[in-house]
Amino acid sequence: MSEALVLSEVRGEGARRTALITLNRPKQLNALNDALMDQLGAALIAFDREDGIGCIVITGSEKAFAAGADISAMARFSYMDVHHNDFITRNWETLLQVRKPVIAAVSGFALGGGCELAMLCDFIIAADTAKFGQPEIKIGIIPGAGGTQRLPRAVGKAKAMDMVLTGRMMDVHEAERSGLVSRIVPAAQLIDEALSAAATICALSGPSVALAKACVNKAFEGGLMDGVGFERRIFHSLFATDDQKEGMDAFLSKRPPDFKQR
Ligand code: DAK
């Protein structure tokens, strides 16, 4: 049997619960290799399809969310190896196919591919020990899983250039001030806080949550008017759901909504 490079469990109560996925190469600071990314992708796709799951949390160890792609696996590649084989593009962007919200719960190092993986998630809740960086420049490469594109959108051009060109790390307070991280929590409370945010999401209407995620991603990925047009179409389409009727009726009747997930 192959080694479990990610551990999956289901947490919480109620009709829709949270999938907690833990990256599991702690001795290598969760350096991300091909096998781990395959297992992570398979877990994400399976949980995305499962009706009883409303939200997914990805975490690492106390010392490292992930210290990057596995340098030992990359060290000997030639240009033709990475270009011709389209180096690990296959399993790095599976996260982008997931329609349910994915929260990164980051403790310790989130560097290189680890920072990019966290940025591929929908938002980042970080322990007060978290450190973020794109140090690839220090080993003669550049970020390769979207870091040069997503970091400037998250923290602005000046800070992204500083990070990418010097390879320095930012601590969690700088990361939060810059907009990379949504919340900072004491390390011991990281998983509880992430699961609590996930439970809030699980209790909501799954269709409207998935479509809200698609709209925010559209703002992140494209131009402003393109995004506003996309949002308008999605907004109109939500009036075809039972949950919109229920949510608004409940508000007007001053009672909690009973969402039917359709
Ligand atoms: N790869 C492989 N092993 C790693 C690693 C990594 N990225 N990071 C740490 N390790 C291993 C160390 O080699 C060490 O192994 P042993 O010597 O015990 O066998 C063990 O983890 C513990 O690490 P340290 O002894 O170094 O621990 P320290 O506390 O002293 O230092 C550190 C922690 C995080 C500062 C240090 O380990 C470090 O600088 N690590 C490398 C960080 C880094 O440069 N990361 C960027 C890697 S490049 C792409 C997708 C992704 C990528 C590219 C393309 N496509 C989709 C095309 C991504 C590229 C990268 O991430």
Mean pLDDT within 109-119: 97
State the distance from the centre of ligand 1 to the C-alpha of 237, rounded, in angstroms: 45
According to the model, what pLDDT value does residue 115 have? 98
Mean pLDDT within 193-202: 98
Q: Using pLDDT thresholds of 50, 70 and 90, give the confidence band for residue 88.
A: confident
Do 23 and 5 touch, CB atoms closer than 8 A? yes
State the distance from the centre of ligand 1 to the C-alpha of 73, rounded, in angstroms: 11
SS3 category, 211: helix
Cα distance between residue 120 and residue 102, in whole Å: 9
Residue 49 predicted with pLDDT over 70: yes
Q: What does the mean pLDDT of the chain come to?
A: 94
Mean pLDDT within 157-179: 97
Q: Using pLDDT thresholds of 50, 70 and 90, give the confidence band for residue 1.
A: low
pLDDT digits (tens, 9 = 90+) for 118-130: 999 999 999 999 9
Q: Is 50 part of the annotated catalytic residue set?
A: no
Cα distance between residue 21 and residue 57, in whole Å: 6
Do 207 and 66 touch, CB atoms closer than 8 A? no
Distance, first Cα to last Cα, the chain: 39
Nearest to 116 by CA among 81, 83, 141: 141
According to the model, what pLDDT value does residue 85 have? 80
Nearest to 249 by CA among 258, 238, 240: 258
Residue 230 predicted with pLDDT over 90: no
Q: Which atom, in ligand 1's list, is nearest to the CA of 88?
A: 56
Nearest to 51 by CA among 247, 252, 202, 256: 202
Q: Take residue 48 and report the two structure tokens written for it.
A: 């995305």
Catalytic residue selected from 136, 160, 194, 198: 136
pLDDT digits (tens, 9 = 90+) for 134-165: 999 999 999 999 999 999 999 999 999 999 99
Q: In this structure, how many other beta carbons lie within 10 angstroms of the beta carbon of residue 136?
A: 24
According to the model, what pLDDT value does residue 52 have? 97
State the distance from the centre of ligand 1 to the C-alpha of 243, rounded, in angstroms: 46
pTM across the whole model: 0.95
Catalytic residue selected from 19, 69, 105, 126: 69
Q: Take residue 167 and report the two structure tokens written for it.
A: 């390879």
- DSSP single-letter state for residue 161: H
